[in-house]
Amino acid sequence: MNVTENAGQPEIVFRALDAGGEFPSVVGPLVEAAKRELPGRPELEPPDEGEYAAKNRGVLLVAYLGRQASATGGYRAFPGDPTGNTAEVRRMFVRTGARRSGLGRTMLAELEERAWDDEYGQMLLYATEDLAAARALYEMAGYRRHTDFDPKDDSGRLAYVKQLNGQAN
């Protein structure tokens, strides 16, 4: 469990979850709120137990503000990169009442730090055009559009990539 303190902000506690057992019970209310707000998003479904398994070099986090689960986020090895250098951000969501508090930025930074510690060189994430606030957050955090990773389906998802070693794409 990691604790982050921001001056004048409530304490944020990060806790890694067991995707199979704990995820539904701990963040079920968050997931249900996300599904109501963003209907039809498959990334908001509970993960398969294997998605964050050791072979996928990933982690699934929940961030607590006070005692309330307020955000989720995780990463795994991106299956489209045979080198294993790319971590894919998955299931990132901030509870409506916790938005604009810096929690999304803090969650993203925590994921990046853990991915760097897990020896990933870059992070990849997806957003759709209608998620303007999320895309702005990613761009402010140093993510850049990367069309090579855009899905070839009709999902409308846009790929964003950030080098974790601080070098530009």
Instruction: Kindly state the average pLDDT of the residues 3-14.
Output: 67
Rounded to whole angstroms, the Cα distance separating 87 from 94 reads: 20
Q: Is residue 150 included in any domain, yes or no?
A: yes
What's the structural domain count of the chain?
Answer: 1
Closest CA to 72 of 27, 8, 109: 27
**Residue range 51-73, pLDDT digits in tens:** 666 677 888 898 998 888 888 88
- On whether the CB atoms of residues 37 and 44 are closer than 8 A, the answer is no
Q: Is residue 133 included in any domain, yes or no?
A: yes
Structural domain that includes position 142: 2-163
Per the prediction, the chain carries an average pLDDT of 81
**Residue range 42-55, pLDDT digits in tens:** 555 656 666 666 67
CATH of the domain at 136: 3.40.630.30
Q: Is residue 144 included in any domain, yes or no?
A: yes
Look at the pTM and tell me if it is higher than 0.85: no
Q: Is residue 169 included in any domain, yes or no?
A: no
Closest CA to 115 of 31, 35, 59, 64: 59
Output the six-digit token pair for 53. 């398994």
